Amino acid sequence: MNAEIITIGDEILLGQIVDSNSAWIGQQFNLLNIPVTQITSISDKPENILEALKQASSRADIIIVTGGLGPTKDDVTKQTISTYFLKPLVRDVMVLEHVQTLFSRVAPGKMMPDINQAQADVLEDCTVLFNDVGTAPGMLVEKEGKIFVFLPGVPFEMKYLITNRLLPLLKNLVAQQPIQHRHIITIGLGESFLAEKIADIENSLPANIKLAYLPKLGLVRLRLTQIGESAESIDDFHTRFIQRLGHHVVATKDITLEEAIVETFSSENLKLATAESCTGGSLASGITAISGASAMFDCGVVSYHNNIKQELLGVKADTLEKFGSVSEQTVIEMAEGVKKLAKADYAIATSGIAGPRGGTAEKPVGTVWIAVSGKNETQTRLFQFRNDRAVNIERTVANAFAMLWNMYIKDKSN
């Protein structure tokens, strides 16, 4: 049993939005042991929708369609699926009442435009996936043994409908071979070296256990996938890889480095503080995005201007004048300053030229200093990134957290 996702809407094809819905749906279906085998993004032209539905249903058992259920003229999905299934659209009384209620809440006393009434139209005989958190209802249709699901493209409405409406229904409709995944998050070894280090274990994997390497920004994520049953279990191999990789292992489950930091610091009662110039709040928001961060993070300062570096963090005017704000001396004083200010155990500081402007011959765009201050020392590194602003910031953040993790491991082994 497998699923495919079809996303409808020009905005993905034009690159105006990134399709994060499909990733989330992929995760959910994987947990249900129903792999997503294809994702197709098409424009909202009826002929494209019809063709994509036909093709997807020739390959997959479940077809999830998102997008195109809004009230305005550019949304043609409902008319088109009416054609595809040879069924008329009918106005659902419960949905209409709900749309009317939501409308009155947002615009009390105003008449609901006709255009909104049509949001209550659903395919005749479909299972309506009632949308408590928005106006567009989802629909589930079964045809020739295939399950078609139509959902709004607004991420939180789509998520609500899958979690609360679709998954409970699906559990009754499907049954299949178990798929299991195990993960190892590693740091400090490139993909090739990692592969060589574990080659013998990888070569001894049975045919139904597969290993994938997912390198990203200094970390390599290893994913073991077992389909069906196996004499030697996926857990045995998971353990063997973990033992072989030793201190390169950051986590033995599928979490980010930020999650590993929040989890480890919280359980060991350690506090982190951040002082950011070029990353501009991304270190702090990366940590505070993780639930539970308040146990290990009290304070972050975004000191974009030199005055703030001096007044809040205690960077010396002399240091700024002599070495400049993008310098080893400045990031050291920023890190140690914020550590003291926040009474933290660890601190990270960044200062650099994210670009695209502000570079000089001596300090070109992409010049970044990072300092990490730990229990016994403050370490620094100079980076020369050669990318655009967003990537320079992203790589600074990734390297800063990697430096923090390495400092933590070093302190721990001392």
Nearer to its own copies, 126 or 224 (CB): 224
Nearest to 99 by CA among 76, 117, 111, 114: 117
Nearer to its own copies, 386 or 412 (CB): 386
Q: What is the closest distance, in whole angstroms, from the C-beta atom of residue 187 to its own copies in the complex?
A: 15
Q: What is the closest distance, in whole angstroms, from the C-beta atom of residue 72 to its own copies in the complex?
A: 5
Tell me the residue ranges of DSSP E strands in 43-178.
62-66, 89-91, 121-123, 127-129, 138-143, 146-151
Q: What is the closest distance, in whole angstroms, from the C-beta atom of residue 414 to its own copies in the complex?
A: 27
Nearer to its own copies, 94 or 214 (CB): 214
Q: What is the closest distance, in whole angstroms, from the C-beta atom of residue 85 to its own copies in the complex?
A: 22
Dihedral (Cα; 82, 85, 91, 93), 10-degree rounding: -150
Nearer to its own copies, 281 or 324 (CB): 281
Bond into 356 cis (ω within 30)? yes
* Alpha carbons 377 and 371: distance in angstroms, whole number: 10
As beta bridge partners, residue 310 has none
Nearer to its own copies, 25 or 141 (CB): 25
Nearer to its own copies, 86 or 207 (CB): 207
Q: What is the closest distance, in whole angstroms, from the C-beta atom of residue 269 to its own copies in the complex?
A: 14
Tell me the residue ranges of DSSP E strands in 51-204.
62-66, 89-91, 121-123, 127-129, 138-143, 146-151, 179-187
- Secondary structure of residue 7 in the 3-state scheme: strand
Nearer to its own copies, 87 or 159 (CB): 159
Q: What is the closest distance, in whole angstroms, from the C-beta atom of residue 32 to its own copies in the complex?
A: 12
* Alpha carbons 358 and 343: distance in angstroms, whole number: 33
Q: What is the closest distance, in whole angstroms, from the C-beta atom of residue 156 to its own copies in the complex?
A: 5
Is-contact 370 401, C-beta < 8 A?
no
Residue 357 in tokens: 């402007």
Report the run of H or E that residue 208 belongs to, with start and end. Answer: none
